[in-house]
Structure formats: structure tokens, C-alpha cells
Amino acid sequence: MPGAWTTISIKDGLGASKSMRVWDESGSGAGPLSFGQVLADGLGGAVNVISGALSVTGGGGISTADYVSGCISTAMTATTSTSLLAAPAVGLRNYVTQITVSNSHATVGTDIAIQDGSGGTTIYVIPAAAVYGGAAISFPTPLRQPSTATAIYCVNVTTGASTKVSASGYKGP
């Protein structure tokens, strides 16, 4: 009897059930089985085998465990660097895919500098005009943090503005 494709249920590294296509050599369900395609999880991700371990990835091949986000919800009014995205582990850096800034001050506008570490190199500048000026920026090519194992900070360039910032992305090598 010729072989046949079949679907089996597997568990990812977090114990969630996923479906996987395998080739059944016997064609009857008795095996032996060979790995085949992995079916999408419905969220744009997939289940992968990496070094013998199963990993769930989101759209674009990023593991959901590697997603990062941060929000400064209390207004920044001074020119003090404030942590936005936590430092990833040794050997990893942040990749920013979107940043949103706002400025609620009635008369004082500012630029917001995105920094590689507290007081570190400015890697991006975003204008935030007075009276709810600001920006929502999506990076088609993620903004790559220069340093590894370092938090991303932001700072008002002008004292007196009243800004808030949020960002998201992922961590990777």
C-alpha cells in the first residue's frame, strides 16, 4: 500500500495543541511517520522544530516569547531619560516596529529622542508639537538597537513639554 499524508496533534513548548501534517509510510496510520508541513496556528504563526524542541512563532517568524512593549503613561515633563523597553538578555537587542508619542502641553513643543541606553546614543528623533502633537510611526524595517543587553530609553529635548510614549517590537540577535 502506498504512503499517505495525515494530520496528527502535537504540543508546542507551552503545552498548547497544534496540528501537524506528517507522511505515514504505511498509508494505514501504522507508521512510520515522517515530518511534513506544519499547519498555521490561525494567527499568522506556525509551529517549528528547532534543535529537537518545538517553538511557536508569530507572523514574520518571530517567537511570541520575543515580543516586547513598553509604555510611559505618566507624562514626562523634564529632560531626564526614561526607560521605554527593557534590556533583553546578553547577546540580544531590541527591534522596534512601532512608536507612538503625544504631547498634551498647551504651549511647549519638543522632540523626543529615542536612546540606546540611559543618556546613550540617540537612534531616532520624533517631533511632538504642543496641543496633542506627536506621531504614530510604524517601521516597515524594524529600528535596530545598536547595543545588546541594553534598555531603550527616551527623553524630551525641551523642558516643560508633557509627553507620553509607547513602543513595541521584538528582541533578537
For the whole prediction, is pTM greater than 0.85? Answer: no
Question: Could you give phi then psi for residue 9, rounded to 5 degrees?
Answer: -100, 130
Q: In the structure grid, which three cell numbers stand for residue 97, read together?
A: 516596529
Residues 65-100: pLDDT tens digits?
A: 789 999 999 999 999 999 999 999 999 999 999 999
User: Which residues are CB-neighbours of 154 under 8 A, at least 6 positions away?
Assistant: 72, 76, 81, 82, 84, 112, 113, 114, 115, 165
Kindly state the average pLDDT of the residues 125-145.
Answer: 94
pLDDT, position 6? 74
pLDDT over 90 at 60, yes or no? no
- Give 40's pLDDT tier (boundaries 50, 70, 90): very low
Domains of the chain: 4-61 (no CATH), 66-172 (2.60.120)
